[in-house]
Structures are given as structure tokens and as C-alpha cells.
Chains A and B, each alone.
Chain A
Amino acid sequence: MTGLEAVILTIITASTPLLLAAIGELVVERSGVLNLGVEGMMVVGAVCGFATAYTTGSPYLGVLAGILAGMAMSLLFGFLTQTLATNQVASGLALTLLGLGLSGLIGESFTGLPGVKLQPIDIPVLSEIPFLGPILFGQDILVYISVALVFVVSHVMARTRTGLVIRAVGDNHHSAHALGYNVIAVRYGCILFGGACAGLSGAYLSLAYTPQWIENMTSGRGWIALALVVFATWIARRVLIGAYLFGTVWIMGLYAQALGIGIPSQVLSSFPYLITILVLVLISRNRTLTKINTPACIGQTFVPDR
């Protein structure tokens, strides 16, 4: 394996969790809901995925557990914001705080244990192509799923009736309601989808990225995923670009640390966060770009009149 190949492989593993979480949140935000609890759902997905894989020995059951855990967390958020019409910002924060606490508690007995790694699926023949083979055809299943999800979401949002309904609900919930669509039900569906993606992303971290459980192992990735949605101006394919861009930054920091160039490790570790801020500033400076694509009803509560 050449050095460049190794770098690209690690970039893919660093980008995949960001991509998974961001694509889920994109759908949620398109339906007009701002779920700031991505970090919380992700970290609970990570711990449940790890715990299940460790006890059963099957990483795939772990992945499933991660998804279910993320969905359970998002259901809590859905109940609060949709059924009880609470403030979405505060409820999302609550979800993150609860998730971080809960995962610490669940994961306490699993700290330091050897994990079960999600094995790559080598596609026969194709994965033996030099250089490109291992990169394109030798990944684990979640990498394929994450990329496929982008194209599926992109297609559904832009070209199908379901996507149109989701966008209608997100852009004007009163009109969508008047047309006879069940705003709350659509939003519940999107929130659950977002939860599943965040849980999956967490499970990827604890089963493939670093197959072990470390407290707070998401280290802000959920928040970066939220920033990615803004960066992508709510367009699915741009999330793919953004996620890989951030994955690259993350890995470059690690490599620079390993090479021991004269920069303190703390400076390099802070890069992903600083670049997130920079990117947010650059995007929000362009008022028209953000205004065109921002779902008009984002963050607003909706209570149907009967």
C-alpha cells in the first residue's frame, strides 16, 4: 500500500460519519425542523453500537443497535417539539446534554475493552485494481451506504412527490396544512430518519473509525455535521463535498501531528473547529445564497388548528 493510498483511506473513514449525520440532518431541516441534538443522538448510537457488537460479537447487530438508539433519541425530540410544541433549540440542546450523560453511564463498563471491527467488503476482482481498487471497492458497507444515501436523498428531495411534500412542509407549514398534508406526521418521519442517520454515524465511529468506546468520542462531530448542512445550503450533493473536505482537514491535522512538525498538537486539533467557523462565516456572508435555500419555516413550531 502506498502512502497516498493510506491517506485517502483514512480520509474516507473520517468523512463517512460526518456525511451520515449531515445527510440525515439535511432532511430534518428541509422539513422545517432544527434538531440541535445530533451530537447527542450520535454519541448514544456509538455506545449502543459498541455495546451490542461487543456482547453479541456481531458488528452488524451493533450497527442496527446504533440506528435504533438514534431513532429512540430522536423520537424523544419529536415528541417534545412536535406533540408538545416546545422550543426546538432548547429541546435539541436537551437531547445533546442527555445523550452525553446517558452514553457516559452506559459506556462506563465498556471503556477500554477491545472492540469488534466492521470488516471491509472486498468486491472481488474490482478491489484488486491497483491503487483505485482498495479505495473504491474495498470499503466497509457503511461507506457505500453513506454515498448511496446522498444520491437517494438528492433524488427524493428534488424529483419525487415525497420530497415535494417535505419541502412544502418546511417552507410553509400553514399552506401545507391547508392543502391537507399532515405537517406533524411528515416532520416526525423526517426526525426519525435524521435520528437513524445520526445513530448510524455514531455506530460507524465506534465500530469502524476507532473500534472502541471512549467517552465523548464524537468530539463535536455532530455539531460539525450541523454546520455542514448550512455549508451545503440544504442541497444534498454539496453535503458530500463538504463532508469530504472536513474529513480531509481532520486527517491532515492528525498526519501533521504524527510528522511532528513544529506546530503544537493543540493548534492542529483545533483546525476542524476553526475551519467550521470560517466556512460558516463565508457561507452566511452571501445573504442571497442562504436566503434562497434556507427552509422558510426552520425552527418554528407548528400547532395545527383543528
Chain B
Amino acid sequence: MRLVLERRAERSRLMGWLSPVVAVALTLATGAVIFSLMGLDPARALYVYFLEPVLWWWSLEELVVKAAPLVMIGVGLAVCFRANVWNIGAEGQLTMGALFGSALPILWHEFQSFPVMVLMLLMGALGGALYAAIPAFLRTRFGTNEILTSLMLVYVAQLIADWFIRGPWRDPQGFNFPKSVQFEGWQLLPTLGDGRMHLGAGLALVAVVVLYVVMSRTLKGFEVRVVGTAPRAGTFAGFSSKRMVWFCLLLSGGLAGLAGICEVAGPSGHLQPAISPGYGFTAIIVAFLGRLNPVGVLVAGVMLGISYLGGEAAQIDLGISDKTAQVFQGILLFFILACDTLILYRIRLLRPQTA
């Protein structure tokens, strides 16, 4: 018996909706198997992991804090991947955004008024965009593959950040801990009430709405889709593929940088070596789970936010490593890609023909 793919006459709309749902269901089923292999009650483990995070007000708040950067980076990457531009260095752009945005509060700590916050956010987005401009330039000028360059720059960005935080930007009163001075007042993002939910969530929502409109209602969105699916047709239509590379990388880099400064000026309040728990990489999964569609990304970002929270909860309640979260995220991406096959193909099982 063997598996055979049969091309559908057209994309299956039903499967387009169904495939992310099936992928999540399969991931949960795999999770149950893994938990029972670890000697845990699978029902309780899944409850702690995926349901408890959404049952309490404080954990819902925490979920928004985790989902905001994922959504913000994810929408940018969704546009990139649509256009067949493979920016996988969002983690580095996030780091650069965090560094650029932190320059003002660290170097000019007395600057305390509304403009400082706006400037910080702008600098953050600028830092991410500038850092993403490097692979864009190398790709358009020399034809260098952006996958490898953007990824290599992640390591470089983290080393640069490490140097700043241990070197010139270290808090002189910080007992030699590798962290910057604590941001204060206008240098911190406003939060909702006394909670941890901050302006970053609002900015993520704005990004989703804007990119939804751009992608579905404007010529630019059409251009992205044409260049991505049929580059030759795009050339005939007069769309420049170089301009597209620049557009995608600057956009996704800027959003990743914005997410970076929001992380520093939001939940942590100071620069430290570990700026993000891999949001830039997880956002790749978010983009695919959201079917490269801005609104889908919003839902997907929340789901992957749950997996981060579930990992932390499972570590406390079940005594298992929070690394399981990363494994789940990886498995999820596999299932998403596998299920997406169903959109274009029918799967048939062929029995060997007996002659």
C-alpha cells in the first residue's frame, strides 16, 4: 500500500479552514500520547497546559502580554512569506529594535515627557527595519540568499546586545548584574489599570488591522500575492521583485523591532541579555498557523501564547520541563504543513495491483 497525492482541480476552501483546526487537534493528541509516556495523566496535563491559562483573569492578562509580540512579528512575516521572501531573522531584528529603542532612556535618563515614549517606539521600529535592510540589500544587490544572511545576523545581534548590556550600558548601581538602568515614568509603556497588559497589545492589533486592509484592499497587497504565487506574471505586470524584497524585509523588520522595544519598555522595564524567549522564531509558526493571513495570525498568536503559558504552568503544577512548550510548537508546525497538503491535493491509499 502506498500514499499517492492527487491534485485537486482547485484549492479546497473547506480544507483551508479545516487544516489549522485539524493540525491543532493532532498536536493535542500527540501531546496526550507524550504525556502518558512521561507517566502523567494526559487529561490533567492537557488541562493544565492548554485550558488553565485561559481560565483566570491574571493569566488572560499574561496571555495577552505573550501573544502581543508573537502577533506583531507574525503579521509581518506572513506578508513576507506570502511574497516568497524568507525572513527568518526576526529574532535578531527584535533584538536590534530593543537596543535602538533603549538608547534614549539609558543615555538620557532625565528625559521624562510624552515624546520620549513615541521616540522610543519609533527608534525600535527603525532599529529592526535597519537590521532587516542588511539582508534586503545583500539580496537585491548581490543576489545573496536572505534565509542564511538573516539567520546569521540573529547570532550577531545577540552578541552586540550582550556587549552593550555587559559593557557601556550596564547599570552602574546594578551590583554588577548584566542589566541596564530601570526605565521610569514615560519611558515605560502605559498599562491597563495596574496589570501587566501594556500598549504593545494595542499596537499589535493596529498592525493586524492595517495589514489586513493592505493585503485585501490595496494594490500593494495584490502585488505581494502576485509576486509570491507567480513571479513571472508579476514581472509582466511591472511589479519589481527587488522592490518587493525591500518592502517585505523593512516591514517585517520594523514590526519585529517594535515588538522588541515593547518587550523591554513593557514587561521587563530594563535591558537584559535574554530579551525574548524566542518570539522571533515562534512567530514563524504563528504566521503559518494563521495561514499567512493577518486575522488568522491574530488567532494563531493567541494559541502559541497559550503554549508558552502552559509550559510555565506545567513546570510548576506537573513538575515537567518548560522545554515541552518548544517541542509542542515544533510538532504543531509539522502538522500545519502536513495538513496544508490537503488544500491542494487529495490523498489516496493505493493497494499494490495484483497482476
Number of interface residues of B (CB under 8 A): 47
| Cross-chain contact A101 with B327 (CB below 8 angstroms) | yes
A11, chain B: closest CB distance, angstroms: 21
| Cross-chain contact B152 with A276 (CB below 8 angstroms) | yes
A270, chain B: closest CB distance, angstroms: 5
* The residue from B3, B148, B151, B323 contacting A101, defined by CB atoms under 8 A apart: B323
A277, chain B: closest CB distance, angstroms: 5
| Cross-chain contact A284 with B323 (CB below 8 angstroms) | no
Instruction: Write out the residue numbers on chain B whose beta carbons fall within 8 Å of the beta carbon of A104.
Output: 321, 323, 326
Where chain A touches its partner, the secondary structure class is helix
Of the candidates B4, B138, B281, B334, the one having the most CB atoms from chain A within 10 angstroms of its own CB is: B334
Query: Does A93 interact with chain B (Cβ within 8 Å)?
Result: yes
Query: Does A87 interact with chain B (Cβ within 8 Å)?
Result: yes
Query: Does A226 interact with chain B (Cβ within 8 Å)?
Result: yes
* The residue from B147, B285, B334 contacting A36, defined by CB atoms under 8 A apart: B147
> Complex: how many Å from CA A269 to CA B162?
11
A95, chain B: closest CB distance, angstroms: 8
Instruction: Write out the residue numbers on chain B whose beta carbons fall within 8 Å of the beta carbon of A84.
Output: 3, 5, 337-338, 341
Of the candidates B3, B5, B327, the one having the most CB atoms from chain A within 10 angstroms of its own CB is: B327
Instruction: Write out the residue numbers on chain B whose beta carbons fall within 8 Å of the beta carbon of A98.
Output: 327, 330-331, 333-334
How many A-B residue pairs lie within 8 Å, measured between CB atoms? Answer: 130
**Which residues, 205 to 228 on A, are CB-close (under 8 Å) to B?**
219-220, 223, 226-227
> Complex: how many Å from CA A108 to CA B327?
13
Number of interface residues of A (CB under 8 A): 45
> Complex: how many Å from CA A85 to CA B338?
9
B331, chain A: closest CB distance, angstroms: 6
Query: Does A273 interact with chain B (Cβ within 8 Å)?
Result: yes
> Complex: how many Å from CA A227 to CA B151?
11
Query: Does A258 interact with chain B (Cβ within 8 Å)?
Result: no
Query: Does A245 interact with chain B (Cβ within 8 Å)?
Result: no
> Complex: how many Å from CA A102 to CA B149?
25
Query: Does A266 interact with chain B (Cβ within 8 Å)?
Result: yes
| Cross-chain contact B327 with A270 (CB below 8 angstroms) | no
B185, chain A: closest CB distance, angstroms: 31
Query: Does B160 interact with chain A (Cβ within 8 Å)?
Result: yes
Q: Specify the chain B residue showing the minimal Cβ separation from A283.
A: B144
A: which residues have CB within 8 A of B? 36, 76, 80, 83-87, 89-91, 93-94, 97-102, 104-105, 108, 219-220, 223, 226-227, 230, 264, 266-267, 269-270, 273-274, 276-277, 280-281, 284-285, 287, 290, 303, 306
A-B contact pairs, 21 of them (CB 8 A): A80-B334, A86-B337, A90-B81, A90-B288, A93-B88, A97-B285, A97-B333, A98-B327, A101-B327, A105-B324, A227-B148, A266-B162, A267-B163, A270-B159, A276-B148, A280-B144, A281-B138, A285-B142, A290-B143, A303-B7, A303-B345
5 tightest A-B CB contacts, nearest first: A98-B330, A101-B326, A94-B333, A266-B163, A104-B323
